[in-house]
Structure 1
Amino acid sequence: MGELHPNVVSQPLSADQADEAVIYLNRHADGASNPTVNLRALRRKIDRRLMPYMFCCYVLQFLDKVMLNYAAVMGIKKDLNLVGNDFSNTATWFFIAYLIAEVPNVYCLQKVPPGKWLGANVVLWGVAAAASAGAHGYRGLLVARIFLGIFEATVGPSLMLISSQYYTRSEQAPRFTVWYMGLGVAQIIGGLISFAFQHVQHASLERMADYVPYLGTSYSCLALLQHVSENQTGVWSTTFDLKQIREAALDVQLWLLTVTTILISVSSGVVTTYSSTLIAGFGFSGPISALLNMPSGIVSIVFTLLVGIGIRKTSNRWAWNVLCTIPGIIGGALLSFLPKTNKAGVLIGIYLVNAIVATLPILYQWTMANCAGHTKRAFASALVAGSFSVGNIIGPQTFQSRDAPEYRPAKIAVLATQAAAAVLSAVLFVYYKWQNRHRDQIKGHVDESKMDGTKWAGLTDKQNPSFRYVY
């Protein structure tokens, strides 16, 4: 990508349609006479200012989310007198709260800049996570986990919206990958922390609040806005449009993405909450179980990097999604059908299931790339993030105390959901191909000369004749 000369929007738009970018561009109309901006340098600057904070944010939120996983082998069940399905319930109610909180998130992300809304919730989730350490029984732990779910609910949607605002659709995939890679890093760090703290009697932890910086100079912003205008999705607007909510609720692609995310997240819920428990079931001590869980993070990182780079170079999101389900299916089969005495084989199965984690940033970026319209995008980000929580509600509940120590139904659920997710990925590919062909036949091929009028009009993907889906 070379040099870009910033141009301003020439077509007037009504106040309820206009993107915030239109206001900015018209306010800086003299930018057209200014020197060109090096987009490569600008993109590197944005990467430096955004990616580290988004990555750290995701590392911390995943550590907070999976601390129950490590606490399980550190004696929390005994210390808090958790009996029956109490442990599974605390994991489940985190995601129930997470899901419910996505409803107000749709409105809040439309009215408040995503970076500011995220920053406020980061502080509050730190408080909720710290409160978990003060729990003396099941009820206290349950309340702390519920509040943690409420405050963490905005992390996924906020990071999705921020990533889609600063990058084109082809640039988004590796950037989603960078911050989502925090999940695998958190798995590794979590294992080390758990191992270390199982050897000490007293400890205190200090938490950090991250922030997302705002991009500076007007010339750079002009160039950036023109650069990302090819997305045809807009950047941000405070206008809340109920018509776009209705459209989203009836959009076939969004529900296919939602169901796929739920299926993927069932396995994610198993990995998040019970991987250490499964490993401990082989007879390993708590500290060793924590260490043996660390390769899961390495698998997550490798596959997440692979798909991020692959999509940037080849697109074909659907194929990369299917590719990552294959190790998940194999891992689910090893977990389900190998005898427990085959420790190496079952361990490999646990590790392979973690490849499925790499499909979630694909689904997140796919949603942002194919959903246009300010309110629709906010709704879509919250819906897909909420779908993640639905899968994580189902996942831990497949682990019932009556099925211990084999947990065979849970393992079969991992296998079945991954296979179903692969099928739906192929269905999405067919749907998008059909939609694009239909638009070409009915409305003609995209006329680049007519795209300027729709770039910042706040139109949804259904309303915009120039919009084409990526797959």
Structure 2
Amino acid sequence: MSGKAGHPEKLERVEQVEETGSDEGKSPKVVGESNSITSEELKDDNLDPAASFLFIHKDVDTSHIDISKLRHKIDRNVVSIMAACFIMQFLDKAVYNYTAVMGIKKDLKLKGNEFSHIASAYAVAHLLMQVPNAFLIQKFPASKWLSTCVFGWGIVTICTAFVNDFAGMLTTRVFLAICEATIAPSLMLITAQWYTKSEQAPRFAIWHCAPGVGQILGGLLSFAFQDIPRDGRYLVGWRLMFIVLGVLTMFVGALTFLWLPDTPMNAKFLTTEEKVAQLNHVSVNMTGISNSKAQYWQIMEALKDPQIYLLVFPGIFSSMSSGLTGTYSTTLIHDLGYKNKQTSLLNMPTGITGIITNLTVGFGIRRTSNRWMWAVGLTVPGIIGASILSFLPQPNKIGSLIGIYMVPAIYTITTVVQQWSMSNVSGHTKRAFMAGMMAACHGIGNIIGPQTFQAKDKAKGYLPAKITVLATQAMCAVLFVILWQYYLWENRIRDRKERQVALEDDTGGVALTTEQSWAGLTDKKNPRFRYIY
């Protein structure tokens, strides 16, 4: 959305129509000046620091700021760094997938389901870390906490190169999960600081392309490092690969610490006028920028909120299914009869699928909204791909590869659900808790998912795992339709109440107040909040 930043109340009206994609979610007209802040309101401990910044710079002229150009400037300086962090996270995690064809099972003397147990141990540690992480990402600046963890998992990745048995690999994967647990919640909260709700969708999509990029780069790295001779003069290929990735990750962590700002208010690459314009622009989200004061009652509200569970369960189901490409796609391709180096290259198109679906859906939501329809549509390739893998008569290499290449569309469901949750959950503590919940979904799904791949099922082509993909995607589609209807119902109730207030006050509308924009009200407590669908 292009426009000048000097008219926040006009931007607010446009965003309300654009976000819902329907008159059902549109608030009544706005009257009065939006976001006027008084010195008395600044004394509120719950007020977002952005409100203080706007009060101090209330006389700054932003009429000359072009929002479209400002948005692209933020993209270059913020989204690029976030994407680099997520690419390294996926690479550091997913190279474990590629080591399956690089001799790691033989080198570490892994037996039976130990390869799966290591993947599940990572997921358990990742899940458990979400509890303290939800507190830490609110207590400390998200960008600083993120960069510290990125640097930390780079060190752990290097250490992975020197393990010699199951216990050593299990230990390093657990520590890797502890460091990587913050990546998704941090990126979710940082993205929500900088963009309006409709603008967030393509930005989430861009940094969520990282798994696809990681699959491609991982395939190339695996292909290259398989040429390292096993003659005792050098470390074997998979060990060298972990060292190279660890060094690169530490570099990205240091860059993130030095460049990624904590909030828009202290961004070095923005002028004061641009900061004011950006804050006025995103004030229509009514979700705030940051606040380090924890309000634990918001966690209880979240646990009673129906939308939380309608977002969480699809998150779990999609994570269970995406394990097919995240951990076991190379195993499935290798079992079709391809050699190790061929397997690494043939696994790369799974990443291309993820990139295409993420960008298509992200920018599609930006133009049309209708998140629920895009989400339901994303379950179709997964259902078809899983059906092909489950029921196609074998041997059929080409057909099986097509099925494997379709399944990664499932991962984009995670993109949609995470962005949806950041748009529809308000309140600083509630939103930090929700970000942790969405990351926990990934952990739960990745605990269950690998366990559907049992060594005893190899002769049957891992049929139970493939059927699991089919069933979970069908359940996702049903839940998305229910969520759409829930949001419609909630918005209609709020519209009726607001129209009644307007009639009783004889104002014809209700002004968007500072409290509603910056006081950190939850979506349940803010009568002006409307859910997008």
The two structures have a TM-score, normalised by structure 2, of 0.86
Cross-structure match for 1:229: 283
Give yes or no for contact 1:63–1:190 (8 Å, CA) kept in 2: yes
Cross-structure match for 1:24: 53
The 3-state SS of whatever aligns with 1:305 is helix
Give yes or no for contact 1:6–1:223 (8 Å, CA) kept in 2: no
1:452 deviates by 4.1
Inter-partner Cα distance in structure 2 for 1:90 and 1:400: 13
1:154 deviates by 0.3
Inter-partner Cα distance in structure 2 for 1:189 and 1:428: 36
Give yes or no for contact 1:191–1:291 (8 Å, CA) kept in 2: yes
- Per mean C-alpha deviation after superposition, the further-off stretch among 319-328 and 7-16 is 7-16
Show CA shifts across 1:109-154 (max 9, x none): 1111111110000000111111111110000000000000010000
Show CA shifts across 1:15-51 (max 9, x none): 33201111211222332x5654221121111011012
Give yes or no for contact 1:106–1:379 (8 Å, CA) kept in 2: yes
Cross-structure match for 1:3: 4
Within a 5 Å distance, the mapping from 1:11-410 to structure 2 comes to: 11=38, 12-31=41-60, 33=61, 36-201=64-229, 202=234, 203=240, 205=244, 206-207=247-248, 208-210=251-253, 211=256, 212-214=259-261, 215=267, 216-405=270-459, 406-410=461-465
Count of aligned residue pairs for this structure pair:
470
Give yes or no for contact 1:282–1:340 (8 Å, CA) kept in 2: no
Change (3 A) 1:20 1:326: same
1:423 to 468, 478, 482: 478
Inter-partner Cα distance in structure 1 for 2:4 and 2:381: 42
1:79 deviates by 0.8
- Per mean C-alpha deviation after superposition, the further-off stretch among 331-340 and 33-42 is 33-42
Cross-structure match for 2:497: 442
Give yes or no for contact 2:188–2:418 (8 Å, CA) kept in 1: yes
Letter of the aligned partner of 2:37 in structure 1? Answer: S
Show structure 1 runs of 5+ residues with no match.
Answer: none
Inter-partner Cα distance in structure 2 for 1:156 and 1:440: 33
Inter-partner Cα distance in structure 2 for 1:453 and 1:141: 50
Give yes or no for contact 1:171–1:312 (8 Å, CA) kept in 2: yes
1:453 deviates by 3.8
1:439 deviates by 1.2
The 3-state SS of whatever aligns with 2:526 is coil
The 3-state SS of whatever aligns with 2:59 is helix
Give yes or no for contact 1:51–1:175 (8 Å, CA) kept in 2: yes
Give yes or no for contact 2:37–2:51 (8 Å, CA) kept in 1: no
Give yes or no for contact 2:315–2:441 (8 Å, CA) kept in 1: yes
1:209 deviates by 2.1
1:99 deviates by 0.6
1:340 deviates by 3.1
Inter-partner Cα distance in structure 1 for 2:57 and 2:192: 23
Inter-partner Cα distance in structure 1 for 2:85 and 2:7: 32
- Per mean C-alpha deviation after superposition, the further-off stretch among 216-225 and 58-67 is 216-225
Change (3 A) 1:292 1:341: same
Inter-partner Cα distance in structure 2 for 1:274 and 1:281: 11
Inter-partner Cα distance in structure 2 for 1:291 and 1:9: 57
Give yes or no for contact 1:269–1:393 (8 Å, CA) kept in 2: no
Give yes or no for contact 2:315–2:438 (8 Å, CA) kept in 1: yes
The 3-state SS of whatever aligns with 2:289 is coil
1:232 deviates by 0.8
Inter-partner Cα distance in structure 2 for 1:469 and 1:47: 25
Inter-partner Cα distance in structure 2 for 1:75 and 1:245: 46
The 3-state SS of whatever aligns with 1:415 is helix
Q: Which runs of 4+ in 1 moved over 6 A?
A: none
The 3-state SS of whatever aligns with 1:130 is helix
Show CA shifts across 1:62-113 (max 9, x none): 0111111100011111110100111001001111111111111111111111
Give yes or no for contact 1:325–1:356 (8 Å, CA) kept in 2: yes
The 3-state SS of whatever aligns with 1:240 is coil
Is 1:460 aligned to 2:487, yes or no?
Answer: no
Give yes or no for contact 1:9–1:22 (8 Å, CA) kept in 2: no
Inter-partner Cα distance in structure 2 for 1:248 and 1:9: 29
Percent identity of the aligned residues?
Answer: 47
Inter-partner Cα distance in structure 1 for 2:99 and 2:390: 25
Give yes or no for contact 1:13–1:457 (8 Å, CA) kept in 2: no
Is 1:433 aligned to 2:460, yes or no?
Answer: no
Inter-partner Cα distance in structure 2 for 1:425 and 1:457: 30
Inter-partner Cα distance in structure 2 for 1:19 and 1:253: 25
Give yes or no for contact 2:425–2:523 (8 Å, CA) kept in 1: yes
Inter-partner Cα distance in structure 2 for 1:95 and 1:38: 44
Inter-partner Cα distance in structure 1 for 2:42 and 2:449: 47
1:181 deviates by 0.6
Aligned CA RMSD, in angstroms, stands at 1.5
The 3-state SS of whatever aligns with 1:449 is coil
Inter-partner Cα distance in structure 2 for 1:253 and 1:279: 38
Inter-partner Cα distance in structure 2 for 1:186 and 1:116: 24
Inter-partner Cα distance in structure 1 for 2:79 and 2:521: 29
Show CA shifts across 1:338-389 (max 9, x none): 1330111111111100111111111110000000001011000010111111
Inter-partner Cα distance in structure 2 for 1:442 and 1:348: 51
1:441 deviates by 1.9
Inter-partner Cα distance in structure 2 for 1:14 and 1:271: 51
Inter-partner Cα distance in structure 1 for 2:476 and 2:403: 18
The 3-state SS of whatever aligns with 2:327 is helix
